[in-house]
Amino acid sequence: MTENGDATPLVVLEGVNKHFGSLHVLRDINLTISRGEVLVVIGPSGGGKSTLCRAINRLETVDGGTITFDGQPLPAEGKALARLRSEVGMVFQSFNLFAHKTILENVTLGPIRVRGVARAQAEQRGMELLERVGIGSQASKYPAQLSGGQQQRVAIARALAMEPKMILFDEPTSALDPEMVQEVLDVMVGLARDGMTMMVVTHEMGFARRAANRVVFMAEGQIVEENTPDEFFTAPRTDRAKDFLSKIL
């Protein structure tokens, strides 16, 4: 139980707007993410999906509306912001591993530096997480010695090492060779089954059907449609969603 109780949603966005200059990138976004929920965000390029992810861990500020995380408005700075960033993990399309650190070091660096975990304990936990994503035997290698799929699994282990309350995935498989997509999705499905709260920007319909509680379709900065994966993929309600699905399926 958190101090706010498990019944409160983990993330609430109300009337959120964001501009980049004259470009209106998020338009009146209202969205609630419950604890343990897996939300898939889908939609055309440029629609604001990445900006939405980045707004939730405050890599972007918003210029209207409110975002609360775990019952509190997003902190603007200082220790509270550092804590938010450790509580909201992020996995990007580009794996962003430290090239000159070993796989294990990539996973232990955050816990040691940011959370003050003792090295031995961080390494023990790091090895457990690498085993969990199927990379235990690669722990002493460097990122360039691993395949893209393996590197992305390390990035997931690195996010988990911070013991996040939620993980944001922004197109985690779009940079991968096709034969490596499934091994990453399988790890994500495992996390979803273990109850991790996840927001996943992806066009992988198989993942959405296996793991998502809800699909949000976003275009031109707006949430156009929100539905269960089955309903969304078999019977989209809007022409926008129908048109988009006809192009990706």
Interface with ligand ADP (CB under 6 A): 20, 23, 25, 45-51
DSSP state of 137: G
Q: How many CB atoms lie within 10 A of CB 228?
A: 14
Q: Is the Cβ of residue 49 or residue 158 nearer to Mg ion in the bound state? A: 49
Q: What secondary structure letter does DSSP report for 171? A: S
Min separation Cβ 90 and ligand ADP, Å: 13
Q: How far is the CB of 47 from Mg ion (least distance, A)?
A: 8
**Nearer Cβ to ligand ADP (8/174):** 174
Which amino acid, residue 221?
Answer: G
Q: Which does 25 bind (CB under 5 to 8 A by kind): ligand ADP, Mg ion, none?
A: ligand ADP
E-assigned strand segments in 43-194: 64-69, 72-73, 88-91, 166-170
The two beta strands, 11-20 and 64-69, are antiparallel
Kindly report the backbone phi and psi dihedral angles of residue 10, in degrees, each rounded to the nearest multiple of 5, phi listed first: -75, -40
In the complex, minimum distance from the CB of residue 47 to ligand ADP, in angstroms, rounded to a whole number:
4
Which residues of this protein are in contact with Mg ion, per CB under 5 A? 49-50
Nearer of residues 49 and 58 to Mg ion, judged by Cβ: 49
Q: Which of Mg ion, ligand ADP, none sits in contact with 23, Cβ below 5 to 8 A by type?
A: ligand ADP
**Consecutive H or E run containing 78:** helix 78-87
- Which listed option, Mg ion, ligand ADP, none, makes contact with residue 138 (CB within 5 to 8 Å by class)? none
> Which residues make Cβ contacts (< 8 Å) with residue 42, sequence separation at least 6?
49, 201, 202, 203, 208, 215, 216, 217, 218, 244
Q: Cβ of residue 226: shortest distance to ligand ADP, in angstroms?
A: 16
Neighbours of 214 (CB within 10 A): 20
Instruction: Find the helix packing angle between 103-113 and 119-132, rounded to 10°.
Output: 130
Closest contact distance (angstroms) between CB of 99 and Mg ion is 23
Nearer to ligand ADP, 125 or 207 (CB): 207
Q: Which is nearer to ligand ADP, 18 or 85 (CB)?
A: 18
